[in-house]
Amino acid sequence: MLELLTALLFLLVAGGTAWAGLRAGAWRARGVHRLAPLPGPDADPFPSPAMLWRDLVGRLGSAMPASARNLPRLKRRLIRAGIRNPNAALYFQGIRLVATLLFGAGALLGAWQSHAAPENLVLGTGAAAALGYMAPMQYVMLRIRRRQRAIARGLPNALDLMVVCVESGLGIDQTTLQVAKELQSAHPEICSEFTVMNLELRAGIRRADALHNLADRTGVEAVKKLVAVLVQTDRFGTSIAQCLRGHADYLRTMARQKAEERASKLAVKLVFPIFFCVLPSLFVVTIGPVMTHLVRDLMPMIENM
């Protein structure tokens, strides 16, 4: 009987030890699995067309010789257009080369199919290639003008909110950060510039230099005047809230004067559409029936004479 109890006790201890060891291994495996990084999606053997296009224009842009004098101006224009990719200049050069080749090849193919003269073929191909060379820059300039108008339109509202933040006790750095957060949905362009300026300040750039960089990135005259006001206020220690309120009133007055100027020019600009579009239709409506009656009544009389 004692031997049987001893054997049962041995089996229980051995089974409990084995079960504990197995559970400890399972716990350890689950812990390692939980700490391991999540498996990413399976790599596509075929890259996307966007990646292929970016790689193509990047290679072509790096192969094209870029002028050391024009490269800083190109980067400044791309930044003013809202394109802050570090390789944006290379991509732009590649897109310009691709557009030149595509436009030239399209014009050459069209002229060849239409059986144009050799001199017209050369002129058309050269003009199309020149158009393709200038088209990317024209697109960038269009984006710059559109973005500058958006920044100028949102600046008075940003200044009003800056006045409220400054009067509530915030500094100029916290004010610009708060304005960038509050007006992100209404005026994203000016908010993105304020965010970049805050990042520069956190990186250790002096406030005056960060403000001058803000004016250089935007290229808007109203922002340049605001930067001059803020730099002078920071230098001489005057009231920031009063200066911002005065500058906001000045911007609204300038916007009102520009609107009144455009309204006063409207009468002169409407002369040509009225003369060439409205008056001919009015003459047809008013004089047309009279001329019809005259012709209908006078023609028989003239024939009978």
- DSSP structure string for 118-135: HHHHHHHHHHHHHHHHHH
pLDDT confidence bin for 48, thresholds 50/70/90: low
What is the structure's pLDDT at 214? 93
Sole residue written with tokens 């003269």: 117
Residue 232 tokens read as 């002078």
Each residue's pLDDT tens digit, 230-268: 888 888 878 888 888 888 888 888 888 988 998 988 888
Mean pLDDT, rounded, for 23-47: 56
What is the structure's pLDDT at 296? 79
pLDDT confidence bin for 43, thresholds 50/70/90: very low
Each residue's pLDDT tens digit, 206-234: 989 999 999 999 999 989 988 998 888 88
Mention the CATH class of domain 148-263: mainly alpha
Domain spans of the chain, in order of start: 50-146, 148-263
Q: Which residue in 131, 148, 132 sits closest to 77, CA to CA?
A: 148
**What CA–CA distance (Å, rounded) separates 262 from 99?**
38
Cβ(219)–Cβ(245) below 8 Å: no
DSSP class of residue 36? S
